[in-house]
Amino acid sequence: MNLGERLPYDLKEHIEEIMASCKIQKKFRSYKLRHCHRNEWFLLRKLLMENIDCHDFDILLKHHWILSEWRTEPESWIFMLLNERKNLEEIIEECKNHKIKY
């Protein structure tokens, strides 16, 4: 007789619910963070850290549309960070002026 057979039914049911929620959480994290495994994301993150301070980075993180751009078109942000520093400063200023999260 193994341990699973000796446990009460309600405890086995609770364990199965926990296992199911763990699977759901894993799939959701994989869905939301799948962009983090792309090579472009590593380069983008490195360039962001070289070009802005942590306070400005936090300001950018608060805006949904920026996060969406980082996920869908990291190449344009990489180009901007390498060639058009002034645009980045304008984006940060625009984010500072908007209190509403997008």
Q: Quickly state the pLDDT bin for 4 (edges 50, 70, 90).
A: low
Model confidence pTM above 0.85: no
Q: Which residues are within 8 A (CB) of 63 and not within 5 positions of it... i.e. 6 or more apart?
A: 95, 98, 101, 102
Per-residue pLDDT of 14-65, as tens digits, reads 999 999 999 999 998 888 777 777 888 889 989 999 999 989 988 888 888 8
User: What is the C-alpha separation between 27 and 25, in angstroms, rounded?
Assistant: 5
